[in-house]
Chain A
Amino acid sequence: MSGQNLVERLSKRFGGKITGSNLDAIDPWIEVAPGGIAEVCEYLRDDAELRLNLLNCISGVDYFEADPKKAAKAGWEPHMEVVYHLSSTFNKHTLVLKVMLPRWKDDVEGELPEVQSVAGVFSTANWHEREVFDLCGVRFMGHPNLRRILCPEDWVGYPLRKDYEMPLEYHGIRGR
């Protein structure tokens, strides 16, 4: 199935929840609204033709540039992306889904952006979402057990955010 067909098919079914796509990229991707990702994933998994049953990876990417000169040239507004890589064990299909989020919910610093969890669709998302929450600071709504996974429970901040600053000390261990 060509990318264009798939986008049309998904738009027809999910309407406004498919918010965009880029089919010219090296890995073409489809943008999904934060509230629709779970049902889109479920459809892609169960559809008899697509059968995208393997969730390879969930990654969080922070788009933020502190330097105003560089930020003006960057070509994007500051935002957070959650990227889902899906593939199928039945055929060679792979698919990339993206969810665009604000860096902070309602632009209040410290309030994490929210996206629907897909842990109910793919069990592997459970740990991947915990990792994205831990390192990038994205809250997955409906996740059964959303807590830090790689960093210690009492760690402060989200290390893979571009404006992250290393703590000066952690339990008496000197940082920086």
Chain B
Amino acid sequence: MATQVDDARIIEFDVRTDEMLVNMGPQHPSTHGVLRLVLRTDGEIVSEVEPHIGYLHRCAEKIGENLTPRQWIPYTDRMDYLAGMNMNLGWSLCVEKLIEHELPEKAKHLRVIIAEMGRLASHLVGMGAYGLDLGTFSPFLYAFRERERILDLFEEACGARLTYSYLTPGGATADLPNGWLQKCEAFLDQFEPVIQEYHALLTTNAIFIKRTANIGVMSGEMAVDYGCTGPVLRGSGVDYDLRRDGEDRYTELYDGYAFEVIVQRDGHYPKDHDYPAVPKETVLGDCWHRFYVRMLEVVQAIDLVRQAIDRYSTASGDWGVPIKLTHKLPKGEVYLETEAPRGQMGFYLVSDGSSIPWRVRARSSCFCNLSVTSELCRGCLIADVPAIVGSLDIVMGEIDR
């Protein structure tokens, strides 16, 4: 209906835009895999975001009902394919909890070395890919340069570069090869000073801060309410890390290790004199803080690997011989969560007394972390959507399982 307006100025200020539905994905480089976001936009402002998942659903839980726990290990690799070692660890510990298997001392330290190296590799991709999301390409190349060397080390230990199946119920498939520890230490010595480059490229980069500071702010209560875990939770200032607060079966791996949970307390991160200062524009719980927690965890992981190498080389026992492929499981059900790079990865195993589980369930950290997207993106700009989704550091393989 045409309206009659006498005053021309009213027309000038009465420009309206229509609401529009925009499909972001499933094939979109900044959605980290096959994630589809349906945005309801009004001009540049996003009023609603609806994530659609399931494009990478491979029925891992159903498959698990037909395989023995050790046979299912390769399927855990393919969940969070950027941190396969940590997925192996979570499932192995869950099975060991059910069969009440005790690990030798050396196997525990081996697991810490491998899990923390996995965390390093995973956070490097998280960091590099976040740069890509925000339109800078070079950090990605820097990150992959270092990640290659970690993958080389993993390849030497187990023969695979992405889907390791190395840690397994009972221990690991093999001991670390001769000379591996020296190579690992050489890598850490080379890697540690390089972190400064990442801080220069991203953490303290003015454009990066502009893109991430005060964007997607999430309070601690909201993070807990949505079940967010890992760096996403700690980036909101909640002091919770399963390596310290988890179940005994998991925390005993880290018994005696010196480490402090990376979280901001009274405006400071632990031992923050070594790190770049937190910019004034940032707010606790925004994208920048989530990224920063990840960066600090890289430093922490290096330290933990060093400590683990020392303990491993003097520990007694073997590397942990895997259980039989058809080990009979006792009747019962267990649930165990571990601190994977992206958050708490939980496995739930129900057994009816045979060697094949009755039901397996994987609680994915990214699944919960992603569910907060629609809440975080309400009212933000379209360009901020990749910044927010990227800061959650999701891997679709883990969400869809």
Which A residues are closer than 8 A to B by beta carbons?
25-27, 53-57, 59, 61-62, 74, 83, 85, 87, 89, 92, 94, 96, 122-124, 126-128, 131, 135, 148-152, 159-160
* Chain B residues near A126 (CB-CB < 8 A): 371
For B246-264 the 0/1 string (1 means CB < 8 A from A) is 0100000000000000000
Give chain B's interface secondary structure class: mixed
The reply to whether A159 and B59 form a contact with Cβ atoms under 8 Å apart is yes
The reply to whether B240 and A61 form a contact with Cβ atoms under 8 Å apart is no
For the complex, is B188 an interface residue (Cβ under 8 Å from A)? no
How far does the alpha carbon of A85 sit from the alpha carbon of B79 in the complex, in Å? 21
CB-CB nearest in chain B for A25: B332
* Chain A residues near B239 (CB-CB < 8 A): 89
The reply to whether A26 and B59 form a contact with Cβ atoms under 8 Å apart is no
CB-CB nearest in chain B for A85: B335
Kindly list the 7 A-B residue pairs having the minimum CB-CB distance in the complex, ordered from nearest: A124-B227, A57-B363, A150-B54, A59-B361, A89-B240, A127-B371, A150-B57
Contact of A56 among B97, B332, B337 (CB under 8 A): B337
Number of cross-chain contacts by CB at 8 Å = 90
For the complex, is B285 an interface residue (Cβ under 8 Å from A)? no
* Chain A residues near B227 (CB-CB < 8 A): 54-56, 122-124, 128
The reply to whether B334 and A26 form a contact with Cβ atoms under 8 Å apart is yes
For the complex, is B201 an interface residue (Cβ under 8 Å from A)? no
The reply to whether A124 and B371 form a contact with Cβ atoms under 8 Å apart is yes
The reply to whether B224 and A159 form a contact with Cβ atoms under 8 Å apart is no
The reply to whether B225 and A94 form a contact with Cβ atoms under 8 Å apart is no
Once A27-B335, A92-B245 are accepted as A-B contacts, the answer to whether A74 and B352 lie under 8 Å apart by CB is: yes
B47-106 at interface with A (beta carbon < 8 Å): 53-54, 57, 59, 61-62, 97-98
Other A-B contacts than A124-B368, A127-B368, 19 sampled, CB-CB below 8 A, are: A26-B98, A27-B333, A27-B334, A56-B346, A59-B361, A61-B350, A61-B358, A74-B352, A83-B348, A85-B335, A85-B346, A89-B238, A96-B335, A124-B226, A149-B53, A149-B54, A150-B53, A150-B57, A152-B54
* Chain A residues near B361 (CB-CB < 8 A): 57, 59, 61
CB-CB nearest in chain A for B222: A123
Once A25-B332, A61-B359, A89-B238 are accepted as A-B contacts, the answer to whether A151 and B346 lie under 8 Å apart by CB is: no
B306-359 at interface with A (beta carbon < 8 Å): 332-335, 337, 344, 346, 348, 350, 352, 358-359
Once A61-B358, A150-B400, A152-B54 are accepted as A-B contacts, the answer to whether A26 and B224 lie under 8 Å apart by CB is: no
Which B residues are closer than 8 A to A by beta carbons?
53-54, 57, 59, 61-62, 97-98, 224-227, 229, 233, 238-240, 245, 247, 332-335, 337, 344, 346, 348, 350, 352, 358-359, 361, 363, 367-368, 371-372, 375, 400-401
CB-CB nearest in chain B for A162: B65
Contact of B226 among A57, A92, A123, A148 (CB under 8 A): A123
The reply to whether B348 and A57 form a contact with Cβ atoms under 8 Å apart is yes
The reply to whether A59 and B348 form a contact with Cβ atoms under 8 Å apart is yes
CB-CB nearest in chain B for A134: B54
CB-CB nearest in chain A for B248: A92
* Chain B residues near A160 (CB-CB < 8 A): 61-62, 359
* Chain B residues near A96 (CB-CB < 8 A): 335
* Chain B residues near A85 (CB-CB < 8 A): 335, 346, 348, 363
CB-CB nearest in chain A for B371: A127
CB-CB nearest in chain B for A98: B333
* Chain A residues near B334 (CB-CB < 8 A): 26-27
Most A C-beta atoms less than 10 A away, residue of B240, B334, B368: B368
The reply to whether B335 and A89 form a contact with Cβ atoms under 8 Å apart is no
Once A26-B333, A124-B368, A152-B54 are accepted as A-B contacts, the answer to whether A53 and B352 lie under 8 Å apart by CB is: no
CB-CB nearest in chain A for B220: A89
* Chain A residues near B233 (CB-CB < 8 A): 89
Once A26-B97, A123-B225 are accepted as A-B contacts, the answer to whether A57 and B346 lie under 8 Å apart by CB is: yes
* Chain A residues near B59 (CB-CB < 8 A): 159
The reply to whether B335 and A57 form a contact with Cβ atoms under 8 Å apart is yes
How far does the alpha carbon of A152 sit from the alpha carbon of B367 in the complex, in Å? 17
Between A and B, 30 residue pairs with Cβ closer than 8 Å are A25-B332, A26-B97, A26-B334, A53-B225, A54-B224, A54-B229, A56-B344, A57-B346, A57-B348, A57-B361, A59-B359, A61-B350, A61-B359, A74-B352, A87-B337, A89-B233, A89-B245, A94-B247, A123-B225, A123-B375, A124-B226, A126-B371, A128-B227, A131-B367, A135-B61, A150-B401, A152-B54, A159-B59, A160-B61, A160-B359
CB-CB nearest in chain A for B97: A26
How far does the alpha carbon of A135 sit from the alpha carbon of B54 in the complex, in Å? 12
CB-CB nearest in chain B for A63: B358
How far does the alpha carbon of A128 sit from the alpha carbon of B53 in the complex, in Å? 13
* Chain A residues near B240 (CB-CB < 8 A): 89
How far does the alpha carbon of A25 sit from the alpha carbon of B348 in the complex, in Å? 14
